[in-house]
Structure 1
Amino acid sequence: MSKQMLTLKEVMDKVKLKKSAVYDLAKNGDPKFPSPVKLGCASRWVESEVDDWLDECAKRYKKAG
């Protein structure tokens, strides 16, 4: 099974955050947020990992509410 890789713009669109927030989450924020994969000078995220993080956020939100 191949893994779909997302660009920064695609991650930003998916999680509804700005560039700085995405990088902050990956570096210093939520430890469950996926780290980017470096491909040359470009950063890419594994789509399934981003989807898993979004699912986890939704579960935490439901538990809190």
Structure 2
Amino acid sequence: MRRAFPSKRPAAKTRGQTVNHDRRELQAPAAAAQTVSAKSERLIRLPQVLTLVGIGKTTVYAMIKSGEFPRPRKVRNISLWVESEVQNWIRGVVEDRGERQA
């Protein structure tokens, strides 16, 4: 029978893994060996993309179709963008504007 409230017992841990008691998640030792760039990669959803770039959904999808904007990755039925790709696109737009003004 499951309890409706969290248990006060620490989460079970398996050999070679550490337990974060605050979040109750297991972290494998191999996870610590990941590179810094891999840790900083995040997948973001469309509302976050729209907030970052400041343009509308229709414009984003038109730019994806024409190859001007990074394509999303499909995870099951969800479209997710790699945040660093969107940030690089923003940087490119800013740099292009700087070159035009100079």
TM-score by length of 1: 0.89
Paired residue type of 2:94: A
> Unaligned regions of 5+ residues in structure 2, if any?
1-37
Counterpart-to-counterpart distance in 1, 2:46 and 2:78: 9
The equivalent of 1:22 in structure 2 is 60
The structure showing larger relative contact order (alpha-carbon pairs under 8 Å, at least 6 residues apart) is: 1
Percent identity between matched residues is: 32
Please say if 1:13 is aligned against 2:46: no
Deviation, 1:26, is 1.1
Counterpart-to-counterpart distance in 2, 1:60 and 1:36: 23
Counterpart-to-counterpart distance in 1, 2:80 and 2:86: 11
Deviation, 1:40, is 1.1
Please say which structure displays the higher CA radius of gyration.
Answer: 2
Counterpart-to-counterpart distance in 2, 1:40 and 1:22: 21
**Residues matched between the structures, number:** 63
Deviation, 1:29, is 4.9
Please say if 1:53 is aligned against 2:89: yes
Deviation, 1:11, is 0.2
Paired residue type of 2:62: D
How big is each residue's C-alpha offset from its partner over 1:19-41, in whole Å with a ceiling of 9 and x where there is no partner? 111111111252xx211001111
The equivalent of 2:77 in structure 1 is 41
Cα RMSD of the aligned pairs, angstroms, is: 1.0
Deviation, 1:47, is 0.2
Secondary structure of the 1:53 match is: helix
Report which of the two has the higher share of helix: 1
